[in-house]
Amino acid sequence: MATGDLCTVERRGRVHLITLPGAGEHRLNPALISAIRSAVAAACASPGAGALVMAAEGKFFCNGYDLAWARGDPSGRIAAVRAARRGLVADLLALPMPTVAAVTGHAAAAGCGLALAHDTVVMRASRGFLYMGEVDAGIKIIDYFGELLRQKVPDAATRRDLVMKGEKMTAAEAVRRGIVDLAVDGGVDDVVAAAVTIAEGLAARGWDGEIVAEIRKAAWPELWSKVKDYGCDAPSRPRL
């Protein structure tokens, strides 16, 4: 399945692999977010799908908001992309299957948040940083994004270093600090393969998909309360 030129979906067994193709920065604007949400919805509706992996080609996983696009109408377009991304986070939280981010390159600002919105995060060891660059770019962090960071970054000192100091964290440092689950040696294909292997193992557990979604919402209730009104309703499925 392809959603325009913005992302592709490939079925690998019971795993749906969403890929942001090409060598660009994969910056978020409403068009890209809409394509990703359509791909997530397709995975959700696919019979037998048991897990989802999100990855990207090139040196960037996602380099944050599309600021060049936003400059055409700064207040209106930033508000639009924030609302769209809030909806994507809601879709991932409500998805009735495990999710894995394959951080194949740099994940900056909103792109870092996109990675952290997944249940499991694997990252390329030799290239790429997690970087919350809002303090450098002069962009506010709004409520649900702050809540995402509070829920997914395990301690206050690490949140400070990411958000208030704008530190660029390698995969090894992010694993040490508990943000990333696994650092993977090799190239993009190796990171994706590792993520798919993890996803296959989770899919094989045969969990009830609706229970997976409800546990995720209960585990991060403050985050869910801030995004739930923006998400798509996931179809009911009895088991993965």
Counted domains in the chain = 1
Extract the tokens encoding 40: 């997530």
Query: Looking at the domain assignment, is residue 195 inside a domain?
Result: yes
Query: Looking at the domain assignment, is residue 134 inside a domain?
Result: yes
Q: Give residue-wise pLDDT tens across range 174-217.
A: 999 999 999 999 999 999 999 999 999 999 999 999 999 999 99
Query: Looking at the domain assignment, is residue 226 inside a domain?
Result: yes
Residue 123 belongs to domain spanning: 2-230
* pLDDT the model gives residue 4: 62
Query: Looking at the domain assignment, is residue 236 inside a domain?
Result: no
Query: Looking at the domain assignment, is residue 79 inside a domain?
Result: yes
The candidate with the shortest Cα–Cα distance to 15, out of 202, 189, 209, is 202
Query: Looking at the domain assignment, is residue 238 inside a domain?
Result: no
pTM of the entire structure?
Answer: 0.93
Question: 5 with 11: CB under 8 angstroms?
Answer: no
Q: Residue 205's domain is classified under what CATH number?
A: 3.90.226.10
Query: Looking at the domain assignment, is residue 237 inside a domain?
Result: no
Q: Give residue-wise pLDDT tens across range 77-107.
A: 888 999 999 999 999 999 999 999 999 999 9
Q: Give residue-wise pLDDT tens across range 59-77.
A: 999 999 998 898 888 778 8
* pLDDT the model gives residue 67: 87
Query: Looking at the domain assignment, is residue 10 inside a domain?
Result: yes
